[in-house]
Copies of this chain bind each other. A is one copy, B any other.
Amino acid sequence: MGRKSLKDTRQKEIVRAFYQLAKKEGLENASLAKTAALININPSLVIHYFKTKEHLVYALTEYILDKYLLIFKVPPRHSGNALDKLLTVLDNIFSNKWNTLFDDSVSYNCYSLTFRNSTIKKKYKNLLDTLRSNLEALIVACKEEGSLSVKDPALTADIIFVLIDGAYYYLSLVTNKNEYRKKLLLYKQQALQQLNLASS
């Protein structure tokens, strides 16, 4: 009885608004009131769906981290060929599309919370490990296919993501487009080198 629940819909709507706000003004300046105003609802409605602001931040973190899994979404036209798939994933990672798909600014905002919030810390640790094991699986597939020669796939996947995270830590500070492009290519070659793949 009663009316049907809008919980899921509203929660997603609120999180997206909160994200957009954090993106524009920084997480430290994203308030419940501003979030509510952005989608023309009452601030108390936000509290109604997310008991506290803390829970909204948790939802934001999940919203952001989920996006990073998209780098493994590859069009299914790559049928059968594991190496093709791996190279496409690496293209996804080391491309100018990165900055349009993901918003590192809000991610670093949430990341900085991990030092004082174990819940967020676990979410991040979990994502980073998931990304690593996904890449490892791709490498293993290539090994089985015979298209790749790698001693320790888990180790290699780990190192590659260390390179990725370190690369974007620096690249986020680079404003010069040419320097950005040049460095990005360079870091990609380093990743390929870890896979014993020659660079063209």
- B161 in contact with A166 (CB, 8 Å): yes
B residues within 8 A CB of A165? 165-166, 169-170
Stoichiometry, as copies per complex, reads 2
Q: Which residues of A contact B (CB under 8 A)?
A: 25-28, 104-105, 108-109, 111-116, 121, 124-125, 128, 155, 158-159, 161-167, 169-170, 172-175, 183, 186-187, 190
The 14 sampled A-B contact pairs (Cβ below 8 Å) are A26-B113, A105-B112, A105-B116, A108-B111, A108-B112, A111-B169, A114-B172, A115-B172, A121-B175, A159-B187, A162-B190, A163-B163, A165-B166, A166-B166
Contact of A115 among B105, B113, B186, B190 (CB under 8 A): B105
Question: What separation, in Å, do the CA atoms of A128 and B187 have in the docked complex?
Answer: 16
Question: What separation, in Å, do the CA atoms of A158 and B112 have in the docked complex?
Answer: 24
> Chain A interface secondary structure, helix, strand, loop or mixed?
helix
B residues within 8 A CB of A159? 187, 190
B residues within 8 A CB of A186? 155, 158
- B104 in contact with A173 (CB, 8 Å): no
Centre residue among A112, A155, A174, A175 by max chain B CB count within 10 A: A112
- A174 in contact with B26 (CB, 8 Å): no
- A104 in contact with B115 (CB, 8 Å): yes
Say yes or no: A167-B173 contact (C-beta < 8 A), given A28-B27, A108-B111, A108-B115. no
Question: What separation, in Å, do the CA atoms of A125 and B169 have in the docked complex?
Answer: 10
B residues within 8 A CB of A170? 128, 161-162, 165
- Say how far A164's CB is from chain B's closest CB, in angstroms: 7
Q: Which residue of B lies closest to A117 (CB)?
A: B26
For the complex of A and B, the 9 pairs showing the least CB-CB separation, nearest first, are A166-B166, A105-B115, A162-B166, A165-B166, A108-B112, A125-B173, A28-B28, A165-B169, A109-B112
- Say how far A161's CB is from chain B's closest CB, in angstroms: 7
- A26 in contact with B116 (CB, 8 Å): yes
Q: Which residue of B lies closest to A120 (CB)?
A: B173
